[in-house]
Structure 1
Amino acid sequence: MRKARKKSNDNSIFPTNLEDLKRQLQTKFDHNSDLNYTIYQHQNQQLAVFYVTYLIDTNKVEASLLKPLLDSKQTWDNTKLLNQIPLSSGKKAKTMDDILKGILMGEVFIYIENEKEIVSYPLKKEEKRDLSKAETESLVLGPQVAFTESLATNMNLTRKGILSNDLVLEKIIVGEQSPKELRLAYLKSVANQDDINTMRQRLVELEVDEIEDSSVLIQLIEDSSSSIFPQFYETELPDRFSYSISKGRVGVLVENSPTGIIAPITLFSFLESTEDLYMRWNIGSFFRILRFIAMVISVLLTPMYVAVVTYHYEIIPMPLLITLGQSRANVPFPPIFEAMLLELLIELLREAGARLPTKVGQTMGIVGGVVVGTAAVQAGLTSNTLIILVTLSALASFTAPSYLMGTTIRVLRFPMIILGGVLGLIGIMFGICFLIIHLLKLTSLGGPYLSPVYPFNWQDLNKTLFRLPYNMQTKRFVSFRLRDLYRFDKDKARKKKDIDE
């Protein structure tokens, strides 16, 4: 294991002269031509302005920084720079580490010779794409807009979703070689303080070279990195992110990542869709329960077939047994091999369809499934019955709103098929017991993963397995131990008046 690198020396390099500062910077940047270092003579003063060209909005540098700096008739010092230059977010630095990090994050530095500190302004060039429709979380009802790679845009979308001064977007910098800005989002009067402190501590104490994306960040800070189940929720929908924050959860936005992180979550969070909120409560509850049933079907249907056909013919009704016998009459392989072959085929088609261009990928998935499935039956490699069951299992896994949970469900089928083929129903029960024990031990930001089923809390069941009408959802998630449990007054919500009353 690599030891954590020691903190670099924090001794100030100032005061110094401009040529010495230039030599130090050029040495650090290995004489990179992209470092723009210019010395200006102004009112018997020498000032140095330096930055990396392609990281900076040069129009802002010329209009908002250099013009007022050089057109002024007064002499400058650091205090005057911070108070009179028409730019916000100016700050001071005094070490080479601070300067190097600032340069790489798109800051412009101004140094007045022989001053004890240096002044910087963030003038980063914003490269961002336009707002577009979500790709991985498709919706029929509700807002369609998705997060982008711009942190400023994502914070703006979050602010639009939560118009409250109670919303906190706390700035955190992570990464030693390539620093990246993160924002810790929460409602300060609602969220559990332990959750906020835990998330903040995990982020601040990270000692890594860089964070490529929010998905990588999750792998570094989640409770159990060895578990196949995701413990934080990734979403590209601003409305889901804002909704979760308003319910007392903690969120994280990462620069250059089009997804937000939500925690703590439970297993049932991955079966919820924001679309459930925009439907009537009874319809939304039906689809939520349907997804839960689909998850169970996807994990157990094919393994149950393998176990029953291999070891437990006696539990199959006679008319169905005759049909199964005729279907498998020309198949030379045992059921476990037959099932593994088809499951791998489904996964290959899905992966190929995901990597190909959109239109070609859809055609590949449909045509490939039909052609290969028909050919497999005609060649005697598999039976018609198993093709139907494998297809149902695959369709059931696609109902999960979360791509990560859908992938987890599909992967779980393979060990369950092996257990069913080797030990029959006993093996499947062994796999189910192992799965339940693992889920009982799993946590998300320190909270139980199976809440509110374990530990049981009946008050939270209407927020997980089903949902009630809005005027009855007066409480937030009780199991999260929030500061403010009540969303609104129940009696006022139920009181309805006509215009003539």
Structure 2
Amino acid sequence: MDKRTRAFQNSKKKGKLPLSIEQLKKSIKDQLHDEADLIFKKINVQNKNILVFYISYLIDKKRLDENLFTPLIYGDKDWTVEKLLAGLPLGESKEHQTVEDVCTKLISGSIGIYIESENKIVSYSILNNQQRPIEKPERESIVIGPQAAFSESIETNLNLVRSSVRSNDLVAEKFTIGSRLPTEVRLLYLKSLANDDDVQTMRQRLTDLKVDDIEDGSVLAQYVEDSSISVFPQFYLTERVDRFSYGISKGKVCVLADGSPEGIVAPTTFFGFFESTEDVYFRWNVATFFRMLRFIAMFISFILTPIYVAGVTFHYEVIPTNLLMTLGESRSKVPFPPVMEVLFLELIIELLREAGARLPTKVGQTIGIVGGIVLGQAAVEAGLTSNVLIIVIAMSALASFTAPSYLMGTAIRVIRYPLIIIAGLFGIIGVTFGLCLLIIHLLRMTSLGRPYFLPVYPFVYQDLDNALFRLPFGVSNKRSIAYRLKDDTRYKEKKSAKQKDIDDFGGYNEH
């Protein structure tokens, strides 16, 4: 038995090269569990056996025929691994020394090329990338501004981000997460702007993450967030390319995951969830009005129904006499206590909301509008609820939709229920106690190690215009000071404010 045959037999069990053609085929089939669409093509060129193998539905077959088989068969070369890497116009290539490594590339859309008796396998990525086209955002709609949304392809998403952030300072670090189903993850930030502690913290959390697989970017955010107990989101999840790029330009660290149409922006504050990129596109006074309107709507959303329950149940004296008479007349036929009445209507609203979201778009809109009107009117006529409560519930539901972030809107809906129950048991005192617990919880929270309630706590007055309102561009020229970025100045205020009238240029030349 010669040395080559002995090497073949010793490496057969280990999956190491060199292997014979038949041994390699068997080893690949074992690794991929006899994949039905696994294709092997054996070619003999100048007395050398060359094996080309790939998974058929993942491969761009036109590129395969034109850029591989034609040069490989008619190139008239004494092929070696080095000549394959230099002579085939297929783009990205990689060398592998074990069967396990090349099988990982096969399931990602690569082909493998093996020259018998060589100790390396060459792989080329020629993925047949069938992805949906770039569409408008569905959950974060705005009137003014770019209308591009992420897709499920990380290559497409990186292309969109690069097109928006045109800077060679943009870093895109690559990670592979998932021991059973590996997923490509990218960490993006501006090298000269982002805080090194934030970058290192996110990098460490991604590196230390040991899971079987990641289903989506929202799942990844739950794995790496600061607290998994809180109902409030600690990272901003966005499907908008401009919102993602806006976060990068603000010095934040952002994450993209392959197969997910959402990007992660961190760190984020509580007030950041009520900020929209539309605030940048509008004039500063209009943007400030809308942002304050969102804060008021958020407060109305989770406090209005508990206050109604507490007032009607325990505190008649705080209700004006005329309104009290209207409430008494409206509730005269209702057999339930106010807390049960409110929970009943809130449950109907949630059912309508979920039904509208799960049904096809046109049917869902019809169910939401018609169902709300019909059920509300029927509940009043049947004596199950009062007219006044219908108005209160409708205002509360509408206010919860004003948050630009769907996750924050959902969190506000959830915390409303314990407040309603506490109001029904203890009245205004219970509501006050519940609000105190809520504020304490928000003050204790962090996002990527940064205080969640910035800039209110700790109080940083310079950052108020980045959170609670907006100032004119000529006045607000600073980035967030609390995040301790490498450069907190966006532009020189004096130079940006300097304007020239037409008279400064000598006026028009009269001829």
Query: Could you tell me which residue of structure 1 aligns to residue 244 of structure 2?
Result: 241
CA RMSD of superposed structures (Å) = 1.5
Count of aligned residue pairs for this structure pair: 492
User: Which is further off, 140-149 or 282-291?
Assistant: 140-149
Query: Could you tell me which residue of structure 2 aligns to residue 391 of structure 1?
Result: 394
CA distance in 1, matches of 2:66, 2:40: 18
Whether 1:113 and 2:102 are equivalent positions in the alignment is: no
Equivalent residue runs for 1:65-80 within 5 Å: 65-80=68-83
1:109-160 superposed Cα distances (whole Å, 9 cap, x missing partner): 1112222222111111101112221110111111112111222221111111
Query: Could you tell me which residue of structure 2 aligns to residue 6 of structure 1?
Result: none
Equivalent residue runs for 1:242-257 within 5 Å: 242-257=245-260
1:388-440 superposed Cα distances (whole Å, 9 cap, x missing partner): 11110001001011111111111111000000001111111111111111111
Indicate if the aligned counterparts of 2:90 and 2:126 stay in contact, CA closer than 8 A: no
CA distance in 2, matches of 1:311, 1:144: 50
Whether 1:456 and 2:474 are equivalent positions in the alignment is: no
Whether 1:440 and 2:443 are equivalent positions in the alignment is: yes
Query: Could you tell me which residue of structure 2 aligns to residue 286 of structure 1?
Result: 289
CA distance in 1, matches of 2:218, 2:440: 26
Equivalent residue runs for 1:321-332 within 5 Å: 321-332=324-335
Show structure 1 runs of 4+ deviating over 3 A.
none
Give the secondary structure class of the aligned counterpart of 2:482. Answer: helix
Instruction: Quickly say closer, same or farther: Cα 1:205–1:122, change in 2 above 3 A.
Output: farther
Q: Which amino acid aligns with 2:256?
A: L
Equivalent residue runs for 1:27-176 within 5 Å: 27-176=30-179
CA distance in 1, matches of 2:68, 2:475: 56
Q: 2:267 aligns with which of 257, 264, 267?
A: 264
Indicate if the aligned counterparts of 2:15 and 2:100 stay in contact, CA closer than 8 A: no
Indicate if the aligned counterparts of 2:164 and 2:242 stay in contact, CA closer than 8 A: yes
Displacement after TM superposition at 1:11 (Å): 7.2
Indicate if the aligned counterparts of 1:174 and 1:180 stay in contact, CA closer than 8 A: yes
Give the secondary structure class of the aligned counterpart of 2:49. Answer: strand
Structure 2: segments with no counterpart, 5+ residues: 1-12, 505-511
Q: Which amino acid aligns with 1:255?
A: D
Indicate if the aligned counterparts of 1:105 and 1:179 stay in contact, CA closer than 8 A: no
Q: Which amino acid aligns with 2:262?
A: T
Indicate if the aligned counterparts of 2:59 and 2:110 stay in contact, CA closer than 8 A: yes
Query: Could you tell me which residue of structure 1 aligns to residue 348 of structure 2?
Result: 345
Give the secondary structure class of the aligned counterpart of 1:480. Answer: coil
Query: Could you tell me which residue of structure 2 aligns to residue 4 of structure 1?
Result: none
Displacement after TM superposition at 1:74 (Å): 2.1
Query: Could you tell me which residue of structure 2 aligns to residue 7 of structure 1?
Result: none
Equivalent residue runs for 1:1-40 within 5 Å: 13-40=16-43
User: Which is further off, 71-80 or 243-252?
Assistant: 71-80
Indicate if the aligned counterparts of 2:252 and 2:266 stay in contact, CA closer than 8 A: yes
Q: 2:212 aligns with which of 209, 212, 222?
A: 209
Q: Which amino acid aligns with 1:214?
A: G
Whether 1:223 and 2:229 are equivalent positions in the alignment is: no
Give the secondary structure class of the aligned counterpart of 2:111. Answer: strand
Indicate if the aligned counterparts of 2:15 and 2:27 stay in contact, CA closer than 8 A: no
Displacement after TM superposition at 1:44 (Å): 2.2
Give the secondary structure class of the aligned counterpart of 1:124. Answer: coil
CA distance in 1, matches of 2:42, 2:197: 50
Q: Which amino acid aligns with 2:329?
A: Q
Displacement after TM superposition at 1:266 (Å): 0.7
Q: Which amino acid aligns with 1:204?
A: T
Query: Could you tell me which residue of structure 2 aligns to residue 497 of structure 1?
Result: 500
Indicate if the aligned counterparts of 2:419 and 2:431 stay in contact, CA closer than 8 A: yes
CA distance in 2, matches of 1:473, 1:114: 67
Q: 1:466 aligns with which of 451, 454, 469?
A: 469
Give the secondary structure class of the aligned counterpart of 2:176. Answer: strand
Q: Which amino acid aligns with 1:21?
A: L
Whether 1:355 and 2:358 are equivalent positions in the alignment is: yes
Larger Rg: 2
Instruction: Quickly say closer, same or farther: Cα 1:11–1:23, change in 2 above 3 A.
Output: closer
Query: Could you tell me which residue of structure 1 aligns to residue 4 of structure 2?
Result: none
Give the secondary structure class of the aligned counterpart of 1:472. Answer: coil
Indicate if the aligned counterparts of 1:101 and 1:179 stay in contact, CA closer than 8 A: no
CA distance in 2, matches of 1:27, 1:495: 71
Query: TM-score of the superposition, structure 2-length normalised?
Result: 0.94
Give the secondary structure class of the aligned counterpart of 2:255. Answer: strand
Whether 1:368 and 2:371 are equivalent positions in the alignment is: yes
CA distance in 2, matches of 1:361, 1:484: 47
Q: 2:403 aligns with which of 380, 400, 403?
A: 400
CA distance in 2, matches of 1:412, 1:355: 23
CA distance in 2, matches of 1:474, 1:66: 58
Q: Which amino acid aligns with 2:211?
A: V
CA distance in 2, matches of 1:419, 1:56: 59
Indicate if the aligned counterparts of 1:222 and 1:445 stay in contact, CA closer than 8 A: yes
CA distance in 2, matches of 1:373, 1:221: 42
1:318-373 superposed Cα distances (whole Å, 9 cap, x missing partner): 22222211111111110100010011111111111111111111111111111111
Instruction: Quickly say closer, same or farther: Cα 1:65–1:201, change in 2 above 3 A.
Output: farther
Query: Could you tell me which residue of structure 2 aligns to residue 486 of structure 1?
Result: 489
Q: Which amino acid aligns with 2:284?
A: W
Q: Which amino acid aligns with 1:129?
A: R
CA distance in 2, matches of 1:453, 1:111: 63
CA distance in 2, matches of 1:486, 1:78: 52
Indicate if the aligned counterparts of 1:127 and 1:150 stay in contact, CA closer than 8 A: no
Query: TM-score of the superposition, structure 1-length normalised?
Result: 0.95
Q: Which amino acid aligns with 2:324?
A: L
